[in-house]
Amino acid sequence: MVITLIGYRGSGKSTVAKPLAARLGWNWIDADAVIEERAQRTIREIFAAEGEPAFREWERQVLASLLCQKNLVIAAGGGAILNEETRNLMRQSGPVIWLQADIETLYVRIHEDVTTAERRPNLTNLGAKEEIARVLQVREPLYQSSATLVIDTEGLTIESIVNKILEQLPETTRVID
């Protein structure tokens, strides 16, 4: 079984994945880091050299390889839900948890992460908050349709988020295969 964390950039997927996996006694992985490792380039470099469609294909392939594993928490990229095949694989593999935050919180978190600008491209030519709003408009219905659980992360500590997830997961999820 795999637990997949989905949500917009800055929603806390990578930050929550490690302690969640630790509490379950599972492994965890950041899908974007795997893409960068396999491509031997940053996401920004993939976008610049090959465009978004090529990056989305990398993302689809990497997630397909990760979603067939056992006892793994995956921090998926924010746009991973754009691919229907990937959404279906996520749901078939185990719980899909949508971590939510409001636009202002996402903006602050993204800008406090010093590696974001180096590794990830802007997705539009809009200002940062406008980009978040525009991209969320497209993605929120896909996050919603993919999610088994929805966790609002506003004002919560990482420990509180992990506790909320664990409280809502089916008991069978907590058993190591």
Residue 77 maps to which CATH number? Answer: 3.40.50.300
Return the bridge partners of 98, or none: 6, 150
Examine residue 46 and state whether it is found in any structural domain, yes or no.
yes
More confident: 157 or 177: 157
Could you tell me the two tokens for 125? 């030519």
| Banded pLDDT at 176 (limits 50, 70, 90) | very low
Examine residue 159 and state whether it is found in any structural domain, yes or no.
yes
Examine residue 173 and state whether it is found in any structural domain, yes or no.
no
Residue with token string 């935050």: 101
Examine residue 172 and state whether it is found in any structural domain, yes or no.
no
Q: Which domain holds residue 81?
A: 2-165
With 0-12 / 13-18 / 19 or more C-beta atoms within 10 angstroms meaning exposed / middle / buried, residue 128 is middle
Mean pLDDT of 12-22: 96
Instruction: For residue range 115-152, list pLDDT tens digits in order.
Output: 554 454 445 555 578 888 999 999 999 999 999 999 99
pLDDT surpasses 50 at 100: yes
> What are the contacts of 85-92 at 24+ separation with CB within 8 A?
85/60, 86/59, 86/60, 87/142, 87/145, 87/146, 89/63, 89/64, 90/2, 90/4, 90/6, 90/63, 90/146, 91/146, 91/148, 92/67
pLDDT surpasses 50 at 177: no
pLDDT at 107: 86
* Structural domain count of the chain: 1
Examine residue 23 and state whether it is found in any structural domain, yes or no.
yes
pTM: 0.89
| Banded pLDDT at 36 (limits 50, 70, 90) | very high
pLDDT-wise least confident of 35-39, 102-106, 108-112? 108-112
Examine residue 151 and state whether it is found in any structural domain, yes or no.
yes
Examine residue 171 and state whether it is found in any structural domain, yes or no.
no
What's the chain's average pLDDT?
A: 89
Strands (E), the chain: 2-6, 27-30, 72-75, 96-100, 149-152
